[in-house]
Amino acid sequence: MTITKSRVPRFLRLTDRPTLSTKMMWVGLAITLTFILIAIFSPLFIQWGILQDPTEFLSNPIHEPPSWTHWFGTNRLGYDVFSRTLMGSVVAWKVVILATALSMAIGVPLGLVSGYLGGRLDRVLLFLMDTIYTLPGLLLSITLAFVVGRGIWNAAIALSIAYVPQYYRVVRNHTVSVKTELFIEAAQAMGASTWRVLSRYLFLNVIQSVPVLFTLNAADAILVLGGLGFLGLGLPEEVPEWGHDLRQALDALPTGIWWTAFFPGCTMTLMVVGLSLFGEGLNEFVNPKMRNE
C-alpha cells in the first residue's frame, strides 16, 4: 500500500515548508529529549565515577570558579555545581511526572463523570474545582508543602492539587460537547452501561488535549518546584534541586560568585522553555482552529 502525502500527518511532512509552530515544536522537543537523556544517564555517570557525587561534601575547594576540574565551579559547601545541575534534572523529572500523573489520575475521571452525568454532582464539582483554580498555584503549593512536609512524593502531592482543576475543566467541557453526538446516543439506545460509554466512546474523544496540558503543566511545575526550593520547602537540603541551589547562592552573589546561581538558573530556564515550546507547538496540531495559515 502506497502512503500518499495526504495520509502523512502534516507536522511529519518533510517536503512542506516548516511553519513557525512546527519549528517551535521540534526545537522544544529536542530540548526536552536532551533533558530526558541527562536525567537517564547522570545517575549512571555518577555510579561509574565519571561525575562527582553531588551530595559529597568537599573540604576544599570552596567557591572555586569554573575550571577543567569543576566545569561549573563549586558552591559554598564544596559541592560540584556541574553534577548538582545535571542531577537537578533527575529530581525535576521525578517530581514533575509524579505531580502531573496524580493530577491526571484525579482530574480526568472526575471530568468525564461530571460532564456525562451532570446534575447536582456536576454543580458541586464545578464549584469545588473553580474554587481551587482561583487560588494562585505557587501559594497553594506553599500551603500544602507546609502540611505534607518535605520529600519527592510530598512535593509532588503539593504540586498536583493545583493542576487537578485544569484537567477536570478541559475533560469536562469536551465531555459535555461530545455526549450529545449521535454515536453516544446510539450507544445509550443500545443499552450500553455508563462505564462502557465513558471508557469506550467518550474517553478517546475527549483525551486529545491532555498531552498538551501535560507539557504546559510540566513547565509550570518546574517553576513552582524551584520556588518551593528557593523558599526552603519541598525537598531536603541535601537533594540537588535547582531552586534550593539558587537560594544557597543568593548570599554569594554580592561577592562576585556568580556561577553558583548562573548555571542552575539557566538550566531550569532552558528546560521550562523547551517544554513550553513543545507544548505550544503541539497545541496547534491538536487544535487545528488555532493555526494561522
* pLDDT (0 to 100) of residue 17: 56
Which parts of the chain register pLDDT below 70? 1-18, 57-61, 286-293
* pLDDT (0 to 100) of residue 177: 85
Q: How far is CA 246 from CA 3, 123, 191, 272, 287, in A?
A: 52, 43, 59, 16, 37
**Cα–Cα dist 270/273, whole Å:** 5
**pTM for this one?**
0.82
* pLDDT (0 to 100) of residue 77: 78
- Name residue 74's beta-bridge partners: 80
C-alpha cell at 176: 459535555
* pLDDT (0 to 100) of residue 253: 83
3-32 in b/e burial notation, b at 16+ Cβ within 10 A? eeeeeeeebeeeeeeebebbebbeebbebb
* pLDDT (0 to 100) of residue 92: 93
- For residue 74, which phi and psi values (nearest 5 degrees)? -125, 160
Nearest Cα neighbor of 37 from 115, 78, 90 is 90
Q: What is the DSSP letter of 229?
A: H
C-alpha cell at 250: 543568593
* pLDDT (0 to 100) of residue 61: 65
**Cα–Cα dist 105/109, whole Å:** 7
* pLDDT (0 to 100) of residue 87: 92
> What is the CATH topology of the domain spanning 21-54+73-287?
MetI-like fold (1.10.3720)
Beta strand extents in the chain (DSSP E only):
none
Q: Sketch the domain layout of the chain as residue ranges.
A: 21-54+73-287
* pLDDT (0 to 100) of residue 180: 78
* pLDDT (0 to 100) of residue 213: 86
**What tens digit of pLDDT does each residue of 63-113 get?**
888 888 888 988 887 788 899 999 999 999 999 999 999 999 999 999 999
